[in-house]
A and B are shown apart, each in its own frame.
Chain A
C-alpha cells in the first residue's frame, strides 16, 4: 500500500543521505596530530575551523616530520587542523590519482620533483603522471608567491617548474646511489669505505669468505634493488649518464657493447654478494635484518637513516655511494629532489594551503623540518642538524641526479629492458629465468630495439 511505499522511500532516502554524508566532509575525522581548533584567532580575518587534507606515503621519519610541522602550524593558527592519509609507497601513485580525481585533497606531497620529462630524443615516450596533473589543472600555479624567494633558485628552476611556471616546493634532496654499512663489522675487519670498485670487491669477498652476508636489500618491493641498486651501479660506472641514455636511444650505445658488458660483469658480482632470497625481504623488513647483523651492508637511500636509528639508537652505521670509476674518493652522492609539496588548485582552502607553504618557507620552521626528514636542505643558508646528513657533507660536494632520472624507456618496451633497464631481478640467482648476465644483456637489447622499431 501507499504507506509501505512511503516508508520504503523514506528508508532509502535515509540510507542515501547517510551514505552521501559519509565522506565529503572529513572534518568529523580526528586529526592525526593537531589539536582541534577553537574558533578564536586574532591574526587572521577568517577564523572558522578549517581542516586541511594531506596525503603522503609510508615512511615513518617523513610522517613524524610532517606531523610535527602540522602541529606547529596549528599552534600558530589554532583553527586549522589536519588529516593526513598515507599508503605504502608502491600504492601511492594510485592514492594520488584517485584523491585528485575526487577533488578530495588540499595539500599533496609528491614522491619526487618534476622529473623524467621526455627529451627530444625519447620519441613516443609517455608523459609522466605529474604532467597530466598540471595540465588538468590539479596543481596550483604558485609562480608569483612571495615566499618562493626563500628557496634555492636551482631547486625552483629544475625541480618544480613546468613551462616557466612554478607549481610546488621541493623540500629536500636525497641520495640513493649507495649502501648503508655496519661500522662495527667494518672496523672488525679493518675495512675503510671503498673508493674504487676493486676496494669494494675486496670487502665483499672477504666478508663472504668469512661467512658474513655482504649485502642485503628489500627486494620484495622491487624498486630497492631495480631502481636504487641499479641507479647506484650505473652511476658509478658511466661518467655521463645523459649521453649513455641518449646513446641507447640513438643506437650509439648498446646493452651488449663492450663498455656496458663491463657493467654487467659488475652486476654479476653484485648478485653473488646479495643475501639469498633477498627478493622475499620487504623494504620494511630490510633495516631490521641490517641492524640485527644479518648482513654487513644494505642497499637503500639516505632517507631511511631515521628508520635504522629508530630500530637501535646505539647501532653504528655509515653510508657510501657505490664506488666506481666515475670520481675519486670520497665518491659523490647521486639522487633526486625528494618530497615535493603541491597545492590542489580546486581546493576550497587554497588560502590556508598557501599560508602553510609560506609558514614552511621560513628558515626557522624549515630547518628542524628538513633535519627531521633527513634530507639535504634546498633552502640556502639553512643548516640541518641531522647528524647523519652532516656526516655525508664530504660526499655532497657535487650532488647529481641518479640514473633513474636520466633513463626513459620506450613505450611498450619488454620486461627485460623496462624501468631502469638493468633488471637483474630476472636472473635465475634472484628468482628469475635468465641464466647469465650475457643472456640478459642480449634480451634487454632485443626488447629495446623492438620497442624503438615499433614507434610510429
Chain B
C-alpha cells in the first residue's frame, strides 16, 4: 500500500515504532507461538535440567493417562465457571446499569463508583477479603446463615467452593461490565424514548423495542469479554483455593498449577512446563471453540432480527 506523504523523516517514524514492535514480537507473539512448540517437550521450570522432544506424550498424558473422571471434572468446572460468570455477571450488570441510568435515582455517581471499586482493588485484595468474610468457622456470613440453621464450608467444601469462586469473580468484575453498559445506555438518544412516549409505549415496550436492540452491540461486547475473560481467569481460583482441590480446578487454573505450582501444596513435584504448555494449548482451542459457538448463535439471532 502507499504511505501517506509526510515531511517527517521516515527513519524517525520507524525508530519510534521499533520498541513497540520489538516487545510485541519478543514478549507477545513470540511466546504465544512458543507455547505450541513447548507443548511437545518435557521442559521443566528449572534451569539446567536437560529437556527433550517428547512428541505427543504430553497430550497423551493429558487425555489418556490422566484420570478421565478428573479431566471431565475440570472441563465441567470450566464450563460452569464460564457460563455462570458470564450470564450472572451480565444480568446483574444490565439491571444495575438500567437502575443507575434512570433519572429517578439520586446519588447515581456514588453508586457507580462503589460498584466499580473492586476492579481497582485487584485480585489479591478481593480474594483475601472474601476468604475472611466467608470463613466457615465463625465468619459473619457463617453466623448469619447459622441463624437459619444452615452450615456451609464455603471455600473449603467441595459443593460450594466453585460457587464461592464464581461469586468472588463476579463481585470483582461486575463493575467493569456495568460501566460499559451504562455508557451504552447513555448513548441511546433520548428522542427515541420521547417518540415512544408519544406513541404511548409502556416501560417494558420501551425496553424491548428501543433499549435492547440499541444496547445489543454493547451487551455483545460485554458477553464476549466475559466469556474469554472467565475462561482465562485463574487468579481468584488459585488465590482462594489453591491448586490442590479438584473441585475448583478449571483449565486455566490447571495450566498455572502444572507450570508454576502456585499455592499447590508440598506434594506438587517439579514445575512441568511442557505439560503445562499442552494444557495451555488445550485451553486455547477451548476458547476458540467457545467463541465460535457464541459467535454463531449470535449471528443466527441477528439474522432472526
Check: B289 CB closer than 8 A to any chain A CB: no
Q: Is the CB of A136 within 8 A of B46?
A: yes
Q: Is the CB of B265 within 8 A of A222?
A: yes
Residues of chain B contacted by A220 (CB below 8 angstroms): 156
Check: B235 CB closer than 8 A to any chain A CB: no
Q: Is the CB of B47 within 8 A of A100?
A: yes
Residues of chain B contacted by A447 (CB below 8 angstroms): 67, 69
Q: Is the CB of B263 within 8 A of A90?
A: yes
Question: Across the two chains, which residue of chain A brings its CB closest to B242?
Answer: A90
A91 to B238 Cα, complex, angstroms: 12
Q: How many residues of B contact A (CB 8 A)?
A: 40
Chain A 87-130 per-residue mask, 1 if CB under 8 angstroms from chain B, else 0: 00111111001101111000000010000000000000010110
Q: Is the CB of B270 within 8 A of A97?
A: yes
Chain B 160-180 per-residue mask, 1 if CB under 8 angstroms from chain A, else 0: 000000000000000000000
- Given B65, B67, B137, which contacts A281 in the complex, CB threshold below 8 Å? B137
Check: B246 CB closer than 8 A to any chain A CB: yes
Check: A158 CB closer than 8 A to any chain B CB: no
Question: Across the two chains, which residue of chain A brings its CB closest to B244?
Answer: A222
Q: Is the CB of A280 within 8 A of B47?
A: no
Check: A133 CB closer than 8 A to any chain B CB: yes
- Given B48, B61, B70, which contacts A138 in the complex, CB threshold below 8 Å? B48
Min distance, Cβ A56 to any Cβ of chain B, angstroms:
14
Check: A39 CB closer than 8 A to any chain B CB: no
- Given A93, A135, A413, A450, which contacts B49 in the complex, CB threshold below 8 Å? A135
A5 to B65 Cα, complex, angstroms: 56
Q: Is the CB of B70 within 8 A of A136?
A: no
- Which residues of chain B (243-272) have a CB below 8 Å from chain A? 244, 246-247, 260-271
Check: A426 CB closer than 8 A to any chain B CB: yes
Residues of chain B contacted by A414 (CB below 8 angstroms): 67-70
- Given A223, A277, A454, which contacts B65 in the complex, CB threshold below 8 Å? A454
Check: A288 CB closer than 8 A to any chain B CB: no
- Which residues of chain A (126-182) have a CB below 8 Å from chain B? 126, 128-129, 132-133, 135-138
A97 to B262 Cα, complex, angstroms: 12
Residues of chain B contacted by A137 (CB below 8 angstroms): 48
Chain A 261-287 per-residue mask, 1 if CB under 8 angstroms from chain B, else 0: 000000000000000010111000000
Min distance, Cβ A115 to any Cβ of chain B, angstroms:
13
Sample 24 A-B pairs with CB under 8 A, ordered by A number. Answer: A89-B266, A92-B266, A93-B266, A93-B268, A93-B269, A97-B45, A100-B48, A101-B46, A128-B269, A132-B270, A136-B46, A222-B265, A227-B266, A277-B136, A277-B137, A280-B135, A280-B137, A412-B66, A412-B67, A414-B70, A415-B67, A415-B246, A431-B153, A433-B247
The 8 closest A-B pairs by CB, nearest first: A414-B67, A431-B157, A101-B47, A136-B49, A136-B48, A431-B153, A412-B65, A412-B66
Chain A interface (Cβ within 8 Å of chain B)?
5, 89-94, 97-98, 100-103, 111, 126, 128-129, 132-133, 135-138, 219-223, 227, 277, 279-281, 411-415, 419, 426, 431-433, 447, 450-451, 454-455
